[in-house]
Amino acid sequence: MWNPFSRKKPLPDPVTDVEIARSKAYLNARIGFDIDGFFAEQSVEAAMNAPLGSTAECLSANEVARTVEEHLLTAARRVHLYGCAECRRAVQTYQAVCAIEFEPESNNLSIVGERIRIPAQGPFYIDVVNHGKRPVLEAIDPDSISIDGMVIGSDCQIRPLDPSPYDANEAVRVHFGKYELQFPKGMDASCDFIELKAESNGTPLSTRKLVCMRQET
């Protein structure tokens, strides 16, 4: 009976260092393929600088880390983030891991939505939800609110919202009567972190999120 596992031929001798060197020289001379260079590029450093997303413009792991830790985004990166959900997700995931820097009360707070519309006229608002058990949002002192990032705002009013659509315990809409947009020159949309800070009965609260903003004309 035919046995497919039976070996008729003896095993080949192991490849020697001399043969490896000769093969590398052959590849390099014939097709210009630098095999040592190729393997050197497959380092951890190279992997950390390679795009994480599916396009060549996508952020690398190093860039995602710098974005979250230093909040420095070039205009080109803001444009890319505006259009690339993959990169926004990478940044948000990294940010969630770093969120422990906030006060314990703030860990449960989050800004609702990824895209914030700035109307051509009148106030704009940001919705904030609290997933924590202790209510803190409705007791926020409107004068203590500050917002930093692509938009700087003041003249705040807080209105309670129904938290149930957000699966949260508390939700408010923060209206800004006055605001100033800090978009890159010549742009009516941008993507960057905004940070909202406030005080509620003496407890400092803060939450930060990567959001895309567009001003309507």
Question: In the complex, which residues of this chain contact Zn ion (CB under 5 A)?
Answer: 53, 58, 84, 86-87
Closer to Zn ion by CB, 86 or 138: give it.
Answer: 86
Whole-number minimum distance, CB 12 to Zn ion, in Å? Answer: 46
Closer to Zn ion by CB, 86 or 195: give it.
Answer: 86
Closer to Zn ion by CB, 191 or 194: give it.
Answer: 191
Whole-number minimum distance, CB 54 to Zn ion, in Å? Answer: 7
Structure tokens of 35? 């095999």
Whole-number minimum distance, CB 184 to Zn ion, in Å? Answer: 18
Closer to Zn ion by CB, 83 or 204: give it.
Answer: 83
Q: What is the DSSP string of the chain?
A: ---TT--SSPPPPPPPHHHHHHHHHHHHHHH---HHHHHHHTSHHHHHTSBSSSSTTSPBHHHHHHHHHH----HHHHHHHHH-HHHHHHHHHHHHHHGGGS-GGGGGEEE--SEEEE-SSS-EEEEEEE-SSS--STTB-GGG-EEEESEEEEEEEEEEE--GGGT-SEEEEEEEEEEEE-PPTT-SEEEEEEEEEEEETTEEEEEEEEEEEEE--
Whole-number minimum distance, CB 117 to Zn ion, in Å? Answer: 22
Whole-number minimum distance, CB 73 to Zn ion, in Å? Answer: 13
Closer to Zn ion by CB, 89 or 173: give it.
Answer: 89
